[in-house]
Amino acid sequence: MHNGPRTTADPDTLESLVAAYKRSSTAIISDNLDRLPGAIDIRPFHRVKEVMVGPALTVRVAAGDNLAIHKALDLVKPGDVVVVDGDGDVSRALVGEIMMTIAQVRGAAGFVINGAIRDLHAFVQSGFPCFARAAIHRGPFKNGPGDINVKVSIGGMIVEPGDIVVGDEDGVVAFPQAIAADLLKAVHAQEAREEDILRSIRDGSYTGAYGTKS
């Protein structure tokens, strides 16, 4: 079990960035990352009430084995998004109601699982953010191996420890904290442009939006 380094911004700066990105969307963030990052086939399995945002606590596990996830939950900090690379295997669930409750009580912001979950009703009823590939009743092994706070791949998207993870109805995107402030400015600029376009459509002055990112 390897615990790697984790990059973290100043707590006050990180808190303000998280709050700001909670008012954004994955679609516009993705547009301003050249539409390159984004987890393919990862979708919400909870009742989405708000945007999930937080720094990544990354975990890499063997297919169908969640021992390292249990160990990661001992390290989770309030606001963390637990990002698990289960190699895309959906034959066994990696998390369920018990692990969801542990994460929730310890203040985690949510799960992103490159694999399957179970106890879907618990995620729906609680609203605890959970993005995954599938749901299945079959439970996991607990044999290991696994790694914590290492680079992982989630639906083709690389996530480093401490990256900011954003999830909403459209899916999940992640990016380094080092670019978060500049990216946020670009996101706000596009939001303003799109609001202008929508306003022009409503008032009848719209003349076309070819060349925009929408």
Q: What is the pLDDT of residues 29-45, one digit of tens each?
A: 999 998 877 899 999 99
> Could you tell me if residue 211 is inside a domain?
no
**In three state form, how does the secondary structure of the chain look?**
CEECCCCCCCHHHHHHHHHHHCCCCHHHHHHCCCCCCCCCCCEECCCCCCCEEEEEEEEEECCCECHHHHHHHCCCCCCCEEEEECCCCCCCEEECHHHHHHHHHCCCCEEEEECEECCHHHHHHHCCCEEECEECCCCCECCCCEEECCCEEECCEEECCCCEEEEECCEEEEECHHHHHHHHHHHHHHHHHHHHHHHHHHHCCCCCCCCCCC
Q: 101 lies in a domain?
A: yes
Does residue 156 lie within any of the structural domains? yes
Please indicate, yes or no, if residue 196 is contained in any of the structural domains: no
- Domain of 139? 2-177
The number of residues making up the chain comes to 214
pLDDT digits (tens, 9 = 90+) for 56-86: 999 999 999 999 999 999 999 999 999 999 9
Residue 47 lies in a domain: yes
40, part of any domain: yes
Residue 79: per-residue pLDDT:
98
User: Mean pLDDT over all residues of the chain?
Assistant: 93
Residue of 42, 55, 71 lying closest to 146 (CA atoms): 71
Give a yes or no: residue 98 inside a domain.
yes
Domain count across the chain: 1
What local confidence, expressed as pLDDT, does residue 211 receive?
A: 46
CATH of the domain at 61: 3.50.30.40
Question: Is the residue at 75 inside a domain?
Answer: yes
pTM of the model: 0.90
Mean pLDDT of 127-131: 97
